[in-house]
Amino acid sequence: MSSDEILRLFQKLGVVARGHFLLSSGRHSDEYWEKFRIFEYPHVTEQLCGQIAQRYRNWQVAVVVGPTTGGGLLAQEVGRQLGVRCMIAEPAAQGGRELRRGFVLQPSERVLVVDDVLTTGLSLRETLQAIKVYQPEIVGIEVLIDRSQNRAREQFGIPCHALFSVAARSYEPADCPLCRAGLPLVKPGTRKVSEQS
């Protein structure tokens, strides 16, 4: 699918919401991307993950890893389509993320990391740190939506692709025109404010 087709699909599914939102970074925005509306439709998830899987068909990927929760759902579907294992990087008690539940990577295993939305890159940085101790060969990072205007993709030192990129506006609370206009502020999502995803 082209970027225009993906945008039309996201609009149709209600993935994009307009309003006055408090993001997990603490900044305000006039739009919010509710990626879980994608997962409401398994055939759409299958189709989008198929685009990711197609890129890696000949890369001998052994494991697909994603951070909870959206990344884990994507990792499951991409792994299914590639016929390989899937692992989830979960929040660790001491901060960051870790592989639990008996998940173990072997040294030099070829790993693809996937996530749903890239904003600051925190979830992906935590995931990469969690698997680094196993010394895998990380072949790439894939995200459904890049909200960073491509800036966050350059920090990983690993090729990072997005199916869809958006130039999302955000503001410091003191400079927010939506606050000045008196629009009600809504806190969507599950991360606490000041944590960044």
How confident is residue 112, by pLDDT bands cut at 50, 70 and 90?
Answer: very high
Residue 120 lies in a domain: yes
Number of domains in the chain: 1
Residue 195 lies in a domain: no
The CATH number given to whatever domain includes residue 94 is 3.40.50.2020
Residue 6 lies in a domain: no
Provide the pLDDT for residue 61. 98
CA separation for the pair 179, 174 (Å, rounded): 8
Provide the pLDDT for residue 121. 87
Residue 18 CB-density burial (10 A; 0-12 exposed, 13-18 middle, 19+ buried): exposed
Residue 173 lies in a domain: no
Specify the pTM.
0.85
Residue 79 lies in a domain: yes
Residue 23 lies in a domain: no
Residue 89 lies in a domain: yes
Q: Above 50 in pLDDT, residue 56?
A: yes
Mean pLDDT over 139-162 rounds to: 88
- Where are any strands of DSSP class E within the chain? 16-22, 28-33, 63-67, 85-91, 97-99, 110-118, 137-146, 160-165, 170-171
SS3 per-residue string spanning 128-179: HHHHHCCCCEEEEEEEEEECECCCHHHHCCCCEEEEEECECCEECHHHCHHH
CA separation for the pair 128, 124 (Å, rounded): 6
Domain that holds residue 119: 41-168
Residue 133 lies in a domain: yes
> Which has the minimum average pLDDT: 28-42, 75-89, 99-113?
28-42
